[in-house]
Every structure is written in structure tokens, then in C-alpha cells.
Amino acid sequence: MSLRIDDHPILSFKKGKKVSFTFEGKKMEGFEGEPIAAALHAAGVRLLRHSPHKHRPRGFFCAIGRCSSCMMEVDGEVNVMTCITPLKEGMVVNRQEGHGVIKP
Amino acid sequence: MSRKTEILVVGGGPAGLSAAIVAAQLGSKVLLVDDNPNLGGQLVKQTHRFFGSSARDAGIRGFTIAEELLKQAAELKKNLTILLNTSVVGFYGDTEAGILSPERYEKVTFERVIVCTGAVENSLNFENNDLPGVYGAGAVQTLMNVHGIRPGNKILMVGSGNIGLIVSYQLMQAGVQVVGLVEAMQTIGGYLVHASKIRRLGVPIYTGHTIVSALGTDGVTGARLCRVDEKFQMVPNTQFDVECDCICLAVGLSPLIELFQQADCKMVHVGELGGLVPLHDVNMRTTNPHVYVAGDASGIEEATTAILGGRVAGARATESVRGVSDEATKVVSDAVSELRTLRSGSTGERIRWGREKIEKEIAAC
Amino acid sequence: MLINDGIITREELATVLPTDERFKKGPVAIIECLQDIPCDPCVSSCPSKAISMKTGITDRPTLDTARCIGCGLCVPRCPGLAIFVLDMTHAQRSAALSLPYEMQPVPKVGQVVRGLDRTGKPVCEAKVLKVLSAKKFDRTHVVTIEIPKDRALEVRAIRVA
């Protein structure tokens, strides 16, 4: 079952236009402006990175940019908090392995 | 780059919005700063009807109350400037703050600041609590009620306070199956009508239980629960597993208080209010006379008490700059009387104990 | 007990249940609100002024069953969704129960749904007699179902297929 809610008894959801982005080289779709982590979640992806020392799978936790569990590499930049970063057309999103590499 | 204002309000949730609205209505020049792209804080996610007095907002859905506040704020453009996507990153001296937006860093000079930074979700210690699929209750509400995305198909809720009970109901409204609700205490923590609402929809409430571990390798596939006694010790041989793809933690909030510490406000630890809070008086003023507090940052409670506390802070902060006024006095006395009513009854006991501790500390100051 | 598992016991329910005599006269509200939470929208929702709170909003609501005409306007107003209207005079062997409903899908008149007891267990079939969805009810529907009389004190929710 799709994780996107079509029919809600109380709320209606306004979505921006559909955009495509890539995740780990795979083409995916989401809505412009929704957080990257939300678009991934709706597409069934919840493993967002691996922890630095024990390589543990991590997803998001707080969804308001406070816990840093959701950090991923977006368009080449690491430590992007994907739960509060809005999705744009053509974004290249990858899992962050450990601390990632900060380009000089 | 720098700005000047009379009253700086940090945080645009129900407390900050209400403080900014009252201060602007009373004639102050107000700058309201929020680090989100939208105002309203957690209030915009509340789809349920609020309790309290029908003279205020009882019976009205949380997000409708938020819409009302936003409308009021929009009508005060002359006195009220709002900056979104902007964080207050520090206090310098008694009347200066640094604010950071995606475009620039600025200094703001103010006469008074009202800090309404809200709270952060608590986590819970259990094996594999870092697996993808373990989410805070606020995160689940954000996904569901803001972005229209289910957090999973089968969810286990941990915590039977009002947030755990309400979010379980909201999950069912979003078409998610709630496989159970786990509560370590022997009794249900939140309002019993909320509990009855989810029980009659088939959700078991496991009081006197805790979660031992999350199951799964790359993400949650289940949870291991077991019984606990009145001293929260695990009862041997009572473990059992439940199938779920998401575990929601509704195990309390802690006030966000870094800015108060930067401003040298005296802090006090009050368990009933969620942890460390800035010491404050009935005027919502901290031990730093320039700094006021309202909302969950002053003690974990509810949106209605956040609104009322914000109104008191907005009125008193304005009076301390512009002088006492009848209008401000009325705002405060109305709010204080409503707060007293909301905190009466057996369900308000813990909050009353917590508030008494604050009063004792202030008296000793 | 209510505080351990969210289920009202017979003894707890007895404190708010109208008398058999009153049930024989027609539809009447049952306010299953047993805690002194600060809350009062039910009071102002009643056009017959049958609901009162003597000292303040933390009082448990008191229903004057003689004044209550079973109109059901209180049902969608209660934030706790704790008010029901029961008509034991509906038919010889069945009663009509009105309850608040905020899920999807919304049932249609004539549809047969499952009647659930307070633990969520389906205990009977229930034909939908009425569905009220007024704008002022703010997305809480009031659904009236026909249930066997001997289930009238148990059924408090429905499952729509």
C-alpha cells in the first residue's frame, strides 16, 4: 500500500508539482518543496545513512531538524538535514556513510 | 547588518505568536523570529478538538486555532515584523541577539525578549532504538498531518500520555494500524476519554509494560515487549514479540533552554515540568529582567496554556517598556484566571506541583 | 478499570447511565465522561440546557435526563468523543445508537457495518439508519445505527468495511 495519504477524514494536502530526483543512482519521484526525507519515506526508503563507528543503519527521528539522524549527501554536500531540506528537481541524493567527506 | 526593535519574540508557535500579537496590539514594535518556513509550531499538526473552556477555544481543532492566530498576526503588520527560516543563534549582552537566515547574519537590538523556543522530544533507551523506523511522536505527526505521508503500515506506540493517545488516534485516521500502546506505569497517563476512543477501535493498551528491543536489521520489523512491576523492573519470563514496521516514541518532552543559559537566567530542575526550566515569576519574567519566557520552554504543558502564558508575557513585557496600562492589566488578569481553571482538577495536579516549586524558588531568590 | 485499560466497567457506567424508566420514554444522551478534566463544550452545545457543570469546567458534566430530548447535538461537540445517544424505543428488538465518527470511509444510509464493543471486538451487525455531516460539526459525522437491544450498552464504535 502506498504510504501517501489520498483520503483523510480531517485534512486535505496541497502538494507542489511532481519532480524527479535520484537516490543512489535510481530515479525517483516526489513533490517539489516537501522534505527530502519525506519524499524518500513515501517511496519506501527509510535507511538514510550509516553511523560512523559501528556502521549502524539510521533513518530520521525528530523530523524538525534537531537530532541530526537524517543527514545525507545531497548534490555533493554532506551533513544535509534531509528532514527539513526541501526537495528540488534533479537533486542527487545519496546515503551518507559515517562522517562523509567534506570537499575543500 | 543590524535591526532595532522593542520586543524580540523567539519562536512562532502558539506561545510566541500569542506574545507577539498581544505586544503588537498594545502598541509595541515587535520582531517575531522563527526558524521554520511556516509559523504555528506544533499547533498546525493538531487535528483533534481541544479541551478547556468553550469561552476560549474548546471544541475547536488545533490547526483551526493556529489559522486564527495567523490571521490576527497578519492584521498587525504595522507593529509586527515576522522573519521566517531565521534562527536566533545567540544573546550578546543584555539587549542584543544574533539572528541567522539563509541569506545573512544580523544583529538585533531589543529592549525585551520573549523566548518561546518550545521543547524537544525525549528518546528512550532500548536495544536497537536507533533503527530506521523508530520515530518521535512529533515526527509522526509532521509526516502524517503536514506532508500527508503514513509513517508505516503497522505502528507500535510507546507512551500513554495525551500525546501517545492522541497520535494513536490520528494514525488510525491516516489509515495506519496501531498494533498496541505500551505504558510502563500501571495506569494510563493521559485523559481516559482519549484511551477509550482508541480501545473501542481495537487498540490494546499494555499498561505495566515496556519495550525491550526493536527487531529488524535495516529497519523496524517488530518489537519485543515485556511486563514491568510498580518499580519498573522487568518481570522475568513475560517477553513477547509484536509485528510492526514503525515504533513511535511518545515519552515526554524537554524544554529547549539554551538561550536562557546564554542570558545568565537562573535555571531550576523541575521534573513535573519536563526538566530544566528558567526560573520565572507570574509575569513570565526570568531572573534576567530583559528576558521573558512562555510556552513549553517555561514547562511542558499544552497549547492552550502556551497561548495564555504568551499573552501574559507579551502584556508584561510591553508594560515594562511602555508603562502600566489598563488594557495590559486586563489581558493578564483574564489569562491568569483561565490558567488557574485549566490547571484545576485532578488532571492538573502534577503541573500544580511543578508550578509551586517554581514559586518557592522565586520566593527564596 | 478505566484507568488501567481505558474500558469503563459496569459500576463506572452506572454512575452516568439514564434509568430504565427514562430509556422507555425515548432517545437520551449518555455522557461517558468520568474524569474531572477541564472541559465544557457539551454544556453550551445543548439547546435544551440539559447538561450542566455546577462549579466550573473541571466538573464532570451532569445530564438532566428529563430535559434531554436525545437530539444528539452534543455528540459531535465533545472533544473526547464520549457522548452517545441511545433510543431504546426504536423497535421491539432493536435500539438506535448515535455515535461520533471521524474515520474513512464514511458509511452510507442502509449500509451494514460491524458494531464494536469497548475493546474493539465486533459483536454484531449494524444497519446504518442516518449519517449527519453538517458543516458546523466540523468533520465529525454523527452516525446512527440499528443494533440488538442486548448490545445497546456495549457497542460504542463501528467498523466500515
Q: What is the DSSP letter of B199?
A: H
Q: What is the DSSP string of C127-150?
A: EEEEEE--GGGTT-EEEEEEEEGG
- Please state the rounded mean pLDDT for residues B100-129: 95
Contact list in C for residue A7 (CB cut-off 8 A) is 104-105
Q: Beta-carbon neighbour count of residue B133 at 10 Å?
A: 25
CA B107 – CA B31 distance, rounded (Å):
12
Of B254, B286, B282, which is closest to residue B267 (Cα–Cα)? B286
Whether the per-residue pLDDT at B59 is higher than 80: the answer is yes
- In a mutational test of the A interface, the residue from C81, C101, C103, C104 whose CB has the highest number of chain A CBs within 10 Å is C104
CA C84 – CA C77 distance, rounded (Å):
11
Q: Is the peptide bond before A9 cis (omega within 30 degrees of 0)?
A: no
- Please state the rounded mean pLDDT for residues B35-40: 92
In this predicted model, what pLDDT tens digit does every residue of B267-290 receive, in sequence order? 999 999 999 999 999 999 999 999
Contact state of B207 with C4 under an 8 Å Cβ cutoff? yes
pLDDT of residue A100: 87
CA C157 – CA B26 distance, rounded (Å):
48
Q: What is the DSSP letter of B145?
A: I
pLDDT of residue A104: 79
pLDDT > 90: what percent of chain B? 90
- The H-or-E segment that residue B120 falls in is strand B119-121
pLDDT band with cut points at 50, 70 and 90 for residue B202? very high
pLDDT band with cut points at 50, 70 and 90 for residue B57? confident
**CA closest to A44 among chain B residues:** B152
**Residues paired with C158 in a beta bridge:** C115
Q: What is the mean pLDDT of chain B?
A: 95
In this predicted model, what pLDDT tens digit does every residue of A44-88 receive, in sequence order? 999 999 999 999 999 989 888 888 899 999 999 999 999 999 999
Up-side HSE of residue A31: CA atoms within 13 Å toward CB? Answer: 13
- The shortest C-alpha distance from C136 to chain A (Å) reads 14
Contact state of B58 with C138 under an 8 Å Cβ cutoff? no
Whether the per-residue pLDDT at B90 is higher than 80: the answer is yes
pLDDT of residue C88: 97
Of B85, B95, B72, which is closest to residue B25 (Cα–Cα)? B72
CA C46 – CA C65 distance, rounded (Å):
12
Reported in sequence order, the residue ranges of B261-347 that DSSP labels E, i.e. its strands, are 267-270, 275-278, 291-293
**Residues paired with B127 in a beta bridge:** B213
pLDDT of residue C4: 85
CA C86 – CA C68 distance, rounded (Å):
12
Whether the per-residue pLDDT at A6 is higher than 90: the answer is no
Up-side HSE of residue B78: CA atoms within 13 Å toward CB? Answer: 5
- Please state the rounded mean pLDDT for residues B61-83: 95
Q: Which residues are CB-neighbours of C15 under 8 A, at least 6 positions away?
A: C34
CA C9 – CA B98 distance, rounded (Å):
58
Q: Which subunits sit against A, judged by 3+ Cβ pairs under 8 A?
A: B, C
Contact list in C for residue B59 (CB cut-off 8 A) is 41, 45, 77, 79
* A5 three-class SS: coil
Contact state of A8 with B174 under an 8 Å Cβ cutoff? yes
Contact list in B for residue A83 (CB cut-off 8 A) is 139
- B136 → closest Cβ in A61, A65, A86: A61
pLDDT of residue C115: 97
- Please state the rounded mean pLDDT for residues A32-46: 94
Q: What is the mean pLDDT of chain A?
A: 92
pLDDT > 70: what percent of chain B? 100
pLDDT of residue C42: 94
Interface of B with C in 171-200 (CB under 8 A): 172-173, 175, 186-188, 191-200
pLDDT of residue A15: 85
Whether the per-residue pLDDT at B361 is higher than 70: the answer is yes
Give the CA distances from residue B321 to residues B17, B95, B279, B324, in Å, rounded to whole numbers and listed in that order: 19, 13, 21, 9
pLDDT of residue A1: 58
Calculate the CA B200 to chain-centre distance.
Answer: 28
ipTM here:
0.94
Q: What is the DSSP string of chain C?
A: -HHHHS---HHHHHTTPPPHHHHTTS-EEEE---S--SB-HHHHH-TT--EE-SS-TTSPPEE-TTT-----TTTTT-TT--EEEEETTSSSSEEEEEEEE-SSSPP-TT-EEEEE-TTS-EEEEEEEEEEE--GGGTT-EEEEEEEEGGGTTT--EEE--
* A36 three-class SS: helix
- The residue behind cell 474548546 is B58
Ranges under pLDDT 70 in chain C: none
- The shortest C-alpha distance from A57 to chain B (Å) reads 6
Q: Beta-carbon neighbour count of residue C161 at 10 Å?
A: 8
Residue B144 touches chain A, beta carbons under 8 Å: yes
Whether the per-residue pLDDT at B127 is higher than 90: the answer is yes
- Please state the rounded mean pLDDT for residues B347-365: 91
CA B206 – CA B161 distance, rounded (Å):
13
- B199 → closest Cβ in C34, C40, C118: C118
pLDDT of residue C6: 87
Q: Are B122 and B253 in contact (CB under 8 A)?
A: yes
In this predicted model, what pLDDT tens digit does every residue of B317-328 receive, in sequence order? 999 999 999 999
- Please state the rounded mean pLDDT for residues B241-264: 96
Report the length, in residues, of chain A.
Answer: 104
CA C117 – CA C121 distance, rounded (Å):
5
